Amino acid sequence: MNQSLTKMAQTPRLESFDWGSMTWLLDAESCPGADLTLARMVLEPGGAAPAHRHPNCQEALHLLTGTVELRIAGQCRLLEAGDSALIPLGTAHALVFGTVLMVAYGAGARRYEAVEP
């Protein structure tokens, strides 16, 4: 089967958190056999995605609007709309501020592990 073009038959899954939401656009659940995950993340103003890591994949971020503070490897980087970042496999990170961004993971079923800040 050619999976180079896939139209999703279902409505994307929305997951809400106290800091914002993730709309899961493509993953192994919605597209069996997918080797990546794509999501639209909304960070509410003043919200923060807590420190975490993904032990089975890299994470790519692309800011659509606003600004975000990326906390990674003991450093803080301010990203603005149009900026992208690549977070290495297993690297602890956190996001702070209100923004809308696209997030891609290098696994169809990315794993999430909370870490102590």
Full 3-state SS string of the chain: CCCCCCCCCCCCEEEEECCEEEEEEECCCCCCCCCCEEEEEEECCCCEEEEEECCCCCEEEEEEEEEEEEEECCEEEEEECCCEEEECCCCCEEEECCEEEEEEECCCCCCCEECCC
Which token pair is 27?
A: 């993953």
Instruction: Report domain extents, the chain.
Output: 35-98
pLDDT in tens, 71-90: 998 899 999 999 999 999 99
Q: What is the mean pLDDT of the chain?
A: 86
Separation of alpha carbons 62 and 41, rounded Å: 10
> 35-98, which class in CATH?
mainly beta
Q: pTM for this structure?
A: 0.81
